[in-house]
């Protein structure tokens, strides 16, 4: 019963915080404010890879280990966390809002739209409406997944079935929880999920940690 009311509260919050669609370009407000996700999902593990040098660029590109998203996107992440907790699992987040300036660095290194969005169009990350996540057990240990984070190969694709049974089950558990919460999985990266309402939000730049 407690879990039911928690899910109901989050669903109501998502409904009221989601932007109204169909608004003309002239009437669009400034980019929606971003929230620190740990305030919405306090039991989620935050491990922002680009706040350290442990990523494919070899450099720390963020000013802090904090995950920022639009509020409605964060509320959906809370729904996924509730769903997974019922299975004695949880989320670890690797990336959330990403400044457009960082997107340009990624594109210069990996100009492949299968894995990195062209900054001319922007990424869902640049809107604060995408997350890179993985699964953890009840003790916070990462579960086995198809590849490591930012594996730019076909091994990371969702249609890769040449994997051990348990890894396939882990991948499915993550994908099912995220889809149920209102996210769209990226076909080429098992860890990447877009908020289904991402088009309602503007591209943005600037490192919030330093603003």
CA distance 125 to 102: 10
22 part of a folded domain: no
Average pLDDT over residues 156-163: 97
Residue 144: its pLDDT value, please? 98
84 part of a folded domain: yes
26: annotated active-site residue: no
162 vs 3: which has the higher pLDDT: 162
Residue 14: its pLDDT value, please? 46
The answer to whether residue 22 scores a pLDDT higher than 50 is: no
195 part of a folded domain: yes
Which among 71, 83, 86, 189 is annotated as catalytic? 189
Average pLDDT over residues 76-100: 97
Q: How many domains are contained in the chain?
A: 1
CA distance 84 to 67: 19
Q: What is the CATH number of the domain that holds 56?
A: 3.30.1380.10
Of 90, 86, 122, the closest CA to residue 103 belongs to: 122
pLDDT category of residue 9 using cuts at 50, 70 and 90: very low
Q: For residue 162, give its domain range.
A: 2-16+32-200
206 part of a folded domain: no
26 part of a folded domain: no
**Any idea which of 10-14, 27-31, 152-156, 181-185 has the lowest mean pLDDT?**
10-14
Q: What is the DSSP letter of 194?
A: E
149 part of a folded domain: yes
Average pLDDT over residues 181-194: 98
Average pLDDT over residues 152-165: 97
23 part of a folded domain: no
177 part of a folded domain: yes
């Amino acid at each position: 019963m407690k879990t039911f009311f928690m899910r109901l509260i989050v669903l109501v919050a998502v409904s009221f915080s989601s932007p109204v669609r169909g608004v003309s370009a002239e009437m669009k407000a400034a980019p929606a404010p971003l929230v620190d996700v740990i305030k919405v999902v306090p039991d989620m593990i935050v491990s922002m890879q680009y706040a350290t040098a442990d990523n494919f660029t070899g450099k720390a590109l963020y000013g802090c280990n904090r995950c920022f998203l639009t509020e409605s996107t964060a509320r959906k992440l809370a729904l996924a966390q509730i769903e997974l907790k019922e299975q004695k699992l949880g989320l670890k987040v690797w990336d959330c809002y990403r400044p457009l300036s960082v997107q340009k660095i990624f594109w210069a290194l990996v100009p492949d739209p299968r894995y990195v969005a062209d900054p001319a169009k922007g990424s869902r990350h640049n809107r604060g409406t995408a997350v890179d996540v993985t699964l953890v057990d009840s003790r916070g240990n990462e579960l086995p997944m198809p590849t490591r984070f930012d594996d730019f190969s076909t091994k990371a694709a969702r249609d890769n079935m040449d994997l051990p049974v348990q890894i396939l089950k882990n991948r499915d558990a993550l994908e099912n929880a995220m889809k149920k919460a209102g996210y769209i999985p990226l076909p080429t990266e098992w860890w990447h999920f877009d908020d289904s309402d991402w088009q309602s939000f503007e591209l943005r730049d600037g490192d919030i940690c330093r603003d």
